């Protein structure tokens, strides 16, 4: 469910302003950190397979790089907006800071629909995007990664174009690459697994056994699939999954109150998370509900793992009284109005830039491995990821308990202070 007047950047700024006021952040730091430090707007001409040339609009935005090179994904989406990219770049700054990795916040996007483009057209778009940005990306400037509707192949095309331009190998310039081509083991699992690591720790502090819990999931793409899979491995039961159908251009919720076998659901879904409806009914005994019905389920945990602006003032009242935890696998899924209701109800919130920080953490691991030209095994990557996410969760939870803060406010307090301190130490303010 979306509000027509939703603006992600306005929300990101409001979240920042509220916390900045509460922690008494000095005016110069407020003025600097509530705006992106650099914006690049580009147009990308692409030769289409039918012989025509289509011009796509793209963006790359750096919010703040006081703690290290800008870091952030590149989204391909037909409804992409510059304000969304601005917000995501700001959230990425806080995300890197809250898990304490030496990177800043950046984000990129192209207004396009890769689902309606051939592989050749997608490759030419990727290469054109990098050509336009080649002077502003690199391992010590800005490190890109995959995001919504981009993948490891897109990243490798981008890296190849960048290396062609500069005449060398710079694998640390772009992360999320295929394993064997500079990519890290565990990168596919990282964001979804990180979500569940934080859920696991939240259940511990609440005194709840994960094996006695149920969950409803929105989004069955890169984040949702792995989050659901690990949650099920740990003993939890997924009873509802909402996913976007690329053919019908609408979402559906698949529900089985006895529990959905996630591995079987993955087998009947495609790379964009579209689930075969007939097979879900025939093979997995699912009933098919409206796409927004995921939020209405009587479960212990809600896992919004799709896009921003999904829990709003209109549908927040539909959240069951049984829900104990909301874990934001997506970026910005909850509007401030809905957040106030969730806070008032006492639902344990794991905020997005903490909950889904596993992706950027593993991207950082990939960058480190590329720069060393030495790669770790899967168990080592996931162990390091678990440690980072667990430590970050408990640092935020400790502050929340000490100051009697909402988890989102505590996470913001830690992240903003770390970035503000870096800005001051550099002498920028």
Q: Which residues are catalytic?
A: 107
Strand order in the sheet with 104-111: 38-47, 53-64, 104-111, 70-77, 142-146
| Max Cα–Cα distance, the chain, nearest Å | 64
- Chain center to CA of 226: 13
In sequence order, the 6+-apart residues with CB closer than 8 A to the CB of 265 are: 220, 228, 241, 254, 275, 280, 284
Radius of gyration, alpha carbons of the chain: 21
In sequence order, the 6+-apart residues with CB closer than 8 A to the CB of 167 are: none
The string of DSSP codes covering 341-373 is: HHHHHT-EEE-HHHHTTHHHHHHHHHHHHHHHT
Helices 152-166 and 119-133, interaxial angle, to 10°? Answer: 50
The string of DSSP codes covering 2-23 is: --TT--HHHHHHHHHHHHHHHT
Sign of CA dihedral 323, 87, 184, 365: negative
Give the separation between CA 79 and CA 111, rounded to whole angstroms: 6
């Amino acid at each position: 469910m979306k509000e027509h007047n939703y603006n992600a950047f306005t929300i990101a700024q409001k979240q920042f302003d509220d916390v900045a006021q509460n922690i008494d952040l000095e005016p110069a730091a407020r003025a600097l950190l509530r705006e992106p430090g650099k914006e690049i707007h580009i147009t990308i001409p692409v030769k289409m397979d039918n012989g025509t040339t289509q011009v796509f609009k793209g963006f790359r935005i750096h919010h703040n790089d006081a703690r290290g090179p800008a870091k952030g994904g590149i989204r391909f989406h037909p409804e992409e907006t510059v304000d969304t990219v601005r917000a995501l770049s700001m959230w990425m700054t806080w995300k890197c800071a809250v898990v304490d990795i030496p990177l800043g916040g950046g984000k990129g996007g192209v207004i396009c629909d890769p689902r309606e483009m051939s592989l050749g057209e997608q490759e030419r778009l990727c290469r054109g995007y990098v050509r336009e940005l080649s002077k502003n990306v690199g391992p010590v400037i800005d490190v890109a990664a995959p995001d919504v509707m981009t993948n490891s192949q897109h990243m490798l095309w981008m890296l190849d174009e960048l290396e062609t331009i500069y005449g060398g190998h710079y694998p640390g310039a772009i992360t999320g690459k295929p394993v064997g081509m500079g990519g890290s083991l565990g990168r596919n699992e990282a964001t979804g697994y990180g979500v569940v690591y934080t859920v696991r720790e939240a259940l511990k502090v609440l005194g709840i056994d994960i094996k006695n819990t149920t969950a409803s999931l929105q989004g069955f793409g890169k984040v949702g699939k792995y989050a659901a899979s690990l949650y099920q491995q740990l003993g939890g039961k997924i009873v509802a999954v909402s996913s976007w159908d690329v053919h019908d251009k609408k979402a559906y919720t698949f529900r089985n109150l006895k529990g959905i076998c996630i591995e079987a659901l993955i087998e009947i879904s495609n790379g964009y998370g579209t689930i075969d409806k007939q097979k879900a009914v025939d093979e997995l005994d699912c009933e098919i509900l409206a796409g927004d019905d995921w939020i209405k389920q009587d479960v212990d945990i809600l896992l919004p793992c799709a896009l921003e602006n999904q829990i709003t003032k209109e549908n927040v009242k539909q959240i069951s009284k049984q829900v104990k935890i909301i874990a934001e696998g997506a970026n910005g899924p909850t509007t401030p109005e809905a957040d106030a209701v969730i806070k008032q109800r006492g639902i344990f919130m794991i905020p997005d830039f903490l909950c889904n920080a596993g992706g950027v953490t593993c991207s950082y691991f990939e960058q480190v491995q590329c720069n060393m030209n030495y790669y770790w095994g899967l168990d080592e990557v996931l162990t390091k990821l678990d440690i980072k996410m667990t430590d970050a969760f408990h640092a935020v939870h400790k502050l929340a308990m000490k100051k009697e803060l909402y988890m989102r406010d505590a996470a913001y307090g830690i992240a903003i202070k770390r970035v503000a301190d870096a800005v001051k130490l550099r002498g920028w303010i």
